[in-house]
Amino acid sequence: MSGRDDGRSRARRNALLRILLWPKRRRLAAATALALVENLCGLVSPLLIAAAIDRGVPSASDGRWMPLLGFTSAALAAGLTTATVKYCFLRYSGSIAQDLLFELRHRAFAHVMGQPLAFHESYPSGRVVARLSSDVESVEEMLEMGLDGLFSALFSMVGILTVMLWLDQPMAAVVVALFVPLYALTRWFRHRSRQAYRRTRTAVEGVVQHTVEAYNGIRAVQAFRREETNAQRLREIDTSYAAARADAGRVSAAFSGGVKLIGNLSLVGLLTLGVYRIDQGRLELGTLTAFLLYVHRLYDPIDELASFANAFSAASAGLEKIGALFVRHPTVAEPENPVALPPAGGGRAGTGAVRFEGVHFRYGEQSRPVLSGVDLTLEPGRTVALVGTTGAGKSTIAKLLARLYDPTTGRVTLDGVELRDLSDAELHSSVSMITQESFLFSGSVAQNIALGRPDASRAEIRSAAEAVGADGFISALPDGYDTDVHKRGTGLSAGQRQLIAMARVMLTSPRVVILDEATSSMDTPSERAVHEALTRVLAGRTAVIIAHRLSTVAIADRVLVIEDGAVVEDGPPEELREAGGRFADMHQGWLAATSA
């Protein structure tokens, strides 16, 4: 990662942290106060023990037990208070941490869901899953195990050093002197562990991404016998993940060991100097004991600080990655002052006129132009088939018509209104896209049909299903319209899914329907059922079909042959067939394929 990228990642992480932490500043301040009380109580105990040794024990030898009893009871009370406050702190900081994670996960998810198609087409779904799962988990781990260590370490260090300086300065100087190597070690650790954890986050992202891709494409994986290749690839990515984790482990082990070594050197130094100063009569035994107890207390949290720093490095790398999700992507924004479509009048007739005016389009600034000046007029209520070689630009035209993207220059209008000027609600109810996947969401069949109109009544849902001939098979399902589409055993066929998708469109009753036809063929009876449904859905609407089959082109009134992002032939299918151009060649090819 270059220095500039590094700075940008950190800036994104800090901005994200600010957004998450600022609203919780009061609760964080309360948690800090609890930690302060806990550490102050913890600080008192060694002082009381020192007093018990230096004052309580001598007076007890003289037969006066009260001072010793007083000091030991006070030490006990301090210990009990420390434990109680610690319990409260952990509960309180735990609830802050959970709220924070909840918000982080939901913000990230909502942001991803609201992104334009351009984002999803360039950002692999596996990477998004990694962001929302393992990267958020790394933050969770830090919050769960690290906060306590961080607070204890910071307060203890300041508090203990202050008390030490007050008790005996030459002895405190020994401890302070050993902070120099400790500082150097910590700097090294921060630098190395940040690198190591960035590598682990990248590696774990690879593992998740590969798993999600393999799972999404399981049909292709099995059809092309890619199981072994995929497993081999996972082994490779996993090996690099393991290596990155091992490196992170080595760094943290070196740091922990180093801290322990410096802690022990402090003990030896204090013991040597302490014995010398006692011998000189400048120090009491109780004070030496307090110093030894304090050093122990000082280095224990530093060790905890190491685990926090570890968790922080992992979480920090995770937050940098999550922060990258929030980078603004050019979006197809909803207009501030939307324009309404002219009313449909009596019935649908006359609506659904589409125009592409001088449309140029490229997918990104670096990409080559896909459409270069497309001018098109689609008449209301007619069905147009887009045909052409693969990569010609057919889907791109459909995506612009559904306003999944905006043209780079030029405009697309529906009934005289530019798509950019329509509200999202009007756009979605006026232009519907039936995609190849016919995706069904978790929920009942009825809910899936009512996707575009969640307020539709059961009677309306039913009549939409009847209109496309889907009522028969839906009523035969175990729970009819209430059958859960993803419940085991429901197993809807590809054709049935398509019929549900068509009923969905029927219910929304859009002016324009775009159909990205499936290339894979279905068995003939279900293909016929889908075809009949399609004819009913398209009746009276403007339809654009990306056609891959002869039978679909047959229902079109007009064919547009697209080549290299331009319309090269345009006319009724019969006319183009006779004209002997590209469409005629394609037609011949289809005929040969179907008769073979």
Residues forming contacts to ligand ATP in the complex (CB under 6 A) are 121, 363, 367, 370, 388, 390-396
Instruction: State in angstroms the smallest separation of the CB of 434 from ligand ATP.
Output: 15
Nearer to ligand ATP, 18 or 368 (CB): 368
Q: How far is the CB of 370 from ligand ATP (least distance, A)?
A: 4
Other CB atoms within a 10 A radius of the CB of residue 152 amount to 23
What CA–CA distance (Å, rounded) separates 195 from 543? 54
In the complex, minimum distance from the CB of residue 393 to ligand ATP, in angstroms, rounded to a whole number:
4
Contacts 24+ apart (CB under 8 A), 5-12: 9/320, 9/323, 9/324, 10/320, 12/320, 12/323, 12/324, 12/326, 12/327
Residue 329 is given by DSSP the state -
Q: How far is the CB of 247 from ligand ATP (least distance, A)?
A: 36
9 neighbors 323 (Cβ within 8 angstroms): yes
Q: Give the shortest CB-122-to-ligand ATP separation in angstroms.
A: 7
Three-class SS of residue 514?
A: strand
- 13: alpha, beta or left, given left = phi > 0 and alpha = psi -120 to 50? alpha
516 closest CA partner among 440, 433, 449, 439: 433
Using the minimum distance from each CB to ligand ATP, give the nearer residue, 179 or 363: 363
3-state secondary structure of 313: helix
Q: How far is the CB of 403 from ligand ATP (least distance, A)?
A: 15
Choice between 109 and 363, CB closer to ligand ATP: 363
Residue 361 one-letter amino acid: F
Cβ of residue 441: shortest distance to ligand ATP, in angstroms? 23
Please choose, from the candidates 302, 294, 290, 397, the residue with its C-alpha nearest in 3D space to the C-alpha of residue 354: 397
Instruction: Supply the minimum distance, in Å, between the C-beta of residue 371 and ligand ATP.
Output: 8
Of the two residues 178 and 514, which places its CB atom closer to ligand ATP in the complex? 514
CB of 195 to ligand ATP, least distance (A): 33
| Closest to 182 in 3D by CA, of 251, 257, 250 | 257
Nearer to ligand ATP, 228 or 365 (CB): 365
Least distance (Å) between residue 5 CB and ligand ATP: 23
Helices (H), 431-581: 445-449, 458-467, 471-475, 494-508, 524-538, 550-554, 573-579
The number of beta carbons lying within 10 Å of the beta carbon of residue 238 is 15
Comparing CB distances to ligand ATP, the nearer of 386 and 502 is 386
Please enumerate in sequence order all residues whose Cβ is within 8 A of that of 175, keeping only pairs 6 or more positions apart, or say none. Answer: 161, 164, 266, 270, 295, 298
Closest alpha carbon to 155 in 269, 39, 12, 31:
39
Our CB check for ligand ATP shows the closer of 396 and 438 to be 396
Between 392 and 445, name the residue whose CB sits nearer to ligand ATP. Answer: 392
Specify burial of residue 269 (Cβ count, 10 A radius: 0-12, 13-18, 19+): middle
Looking at beta carbons only, is 326 or 363 nearer to ligand ATP? 363
- Give me the least distance between CB of 431 and ligand ATP, in Å please: 17
Query: Judged by CB, which is closer to ligand ATP: 337, or 366?
Result: 366
d(CA 539, CA 541): 6
SS3 content of the chain, % helix, strand, coil (to 5): 70, 10, 20
Task: Residue count of the chain, please give it.
Answer: 596
Min CB(176)–ligand ATP separation in Å: 60
Considering beta carbons, is residue 156 or 395 the nearer one to ligand ATP? Answer: 395
Amino acid at 579: A
> Residue 470's CB: how many other CB atoms inside 10 A?
25
Who contacts 591 (Cβ-Cβ below 8 Å, separation ≥6)? 550
Name the residue nearer to ligand ATP (CB basis): 288 or 386: 386
